[in-house]
Amino acid sequence: MSVLENIVKKSRHIMIAGHIRPDGDCVGACTAAYLYLKKKFPEKKFTVYLETLPEVFAFLDEENTIFSHELSGVAEPDLFLALDCGSPDRLGAAEAYFRQAEKTVCIDHHISNHAYAAENYIEPKASSTCEVLYGLMAEAEIDKEIARALYIGIIFDSGLFHHSNTSRRTMEIAGKLMETGIPFWDYIDKCFHERTYTQTQLLGRTLLGSMRVMDGKVIVAAITRRMMEFYGAKTEDIEGIIDQLRITKGVEVAILLHETGEQTYKVSMRSNEYVDVRKIAAYFGGGGHIRAAGCNMQGSVHDVFNNLTEHIEMQMHTEK
């Protein structure tokens, strides 16, 4: 009997839940654990809770039979299975059930996880919770549907096998999952690369209008309200455009302005190796991370660009 089966064998009502604002690994792990256990124990009751189901992963629960997004009226489970969740307060509405359950189990890969359940399976070196979960299942029992969910979790958290958490084992597991016959190429497009036509047009228009300054080390572009209107674009359609600018050869900093009002812009910045864009964003009242930050600024597009590049120049001078 696999470890996963052993965990639940004595329980009647099992609640499976992941973290709030679930991502691909979280959705994949909850789906895979549910499908695996339901097949093994069809007589048991399962409640699978996630706060929401992101649109791109909705196909994992096409028939709408797996996930609950609402828990009022749901009976207390005797077993609570927390997946991909680093601490109980990130369980959202399911936290109260976790506190009451007779038995609690946590399967995770977050390094910050302090083993908060009674029984814990935490592998901080694993690429994803789906990778950990795979190790608790019997290989022969992993059908196409389960493999699909695990594979999506793995590619999501490993950034398509390119983050440093990707190991030989990650690739080996992915290989085993591929062998079940899943259309693995399709998920990559669906979950990572797919754009609406509006997004494609806005991306193209923005890139065409971009300019390089400071010997090509900085690339700048702006999206005006008129452009947004012309293409019928929404704010979320801008996502990802800054990264297309950033990967331009020779570029250290990418800057994207999004006009939100009269001479008012939401500024996004990305850097590749040495410029601390958080510092610059903080100077103008914003924040973020060293390589990804943002702020709001006012003035003409050129004034904003000039103000920002001045700060980039200062950093390049002091750091070189």
Give the shortest CB-92-to-Mn ion separation in angstroms: 16
Which range touches Mn ion (CB under 5 A), out of 30-38, 122-130, 213-221, 278-286?
A: 122-130
| Residue whose pair of structure tokens reads 């209107």 in the numeric block | 229
Only segment of 23-31, 90-98, 225-233, 245-253 that touches Mn ion (CB under 5 A): 23-31
Does the footprint of Mn ion cover residue 25 (CB under 5 A)?
yes
Binders of Mn ion in range 238-267 (CB under 5 A): none
* Cβ-count burial 163-192 (b if 16+ within 10 Å, e if not): eebbeeebeebbeebeebebebeebeeebe
Q: CA 55 to CA 42: how far, in whole Å?
A: 28
Q: Which residue has the CB atom at the shortest distance from Mn ion?
A: 25
Among the listed ranges 125-133, 261-269, 285-293, 302-310, the one in contact with Mn ion (CB under 5 A) is 125-133
Nearer CB in complex with Mn ion: 95/157: 157
CA distance 227 to 239: 15
Shortest Å distance, C-beta 173 to Mn ion: 14
Strand order across the 79-83 sheet: 67-68, 45-49, 13-17, 79-83, 103-108, 119-122
Bridge partners, residue 119, by sequence: 105
CA 211 to chain CA centroid, nearest Å: 30
Binding mask 171-210 for Mn ion (x = CB under 5 A): ----------------------------------------
CB of 111 to Mn ion, least distance (A): 11
Paired tokens of 213: 């300054």
CB atoms within 10 A of CB 95: 18
CB of 252 to Mn ion, least distance (A): 30
Tell me if 131 contacts Mn ion by CB under 5 A: no
Q: Which of these ranges, 21-29, 168-176, 188-196, 284-292, lies near Mn ion under the rule CB under 5 A?
A: 21-29
**Residue-wise burial string across 62-87, b where 16 or more C-beta atoms lie within 10 A, e elsewhere:** eeeebbeeeeeeeeebbbbbbbbbbb
- Tell the smallest beta-carbon distance from residue 7 to Mn ion (Å): 19
- Residue 307, Cβ density class (10 Å: 0-12 exposed, 13-18 middle, ≥19 buried): middle
**Residue 111, helix vs strand vs coil:** coil
Q: How far is the CB of 165 from Mn ion (least distance, A)?
A: 9
**Site for Mn ion contains 157 (CB under 5 A):** yes
Query: Interface with Mn ion includes 61 (CB under 5 A)?
Result: no
Nearest to Mn ion of 84, 252 (CB atom)? 84
108 interacts with Mn ion by CB under 5 A: no
Give the nearer residue to Mn ion in terms of CB position, either 157 or 237.
157
69-88: contacts with Mn ion (CB under 5 A) = 84
**Nearer Cβ to Mn ion, position 51 or 84?**
84
- Helices 168-178 & 144-157 angle (0-180, nearest 10): 150
Binding-site ranges for Mn ion (CB under 5 A) = 25, 84, 128-129, 157
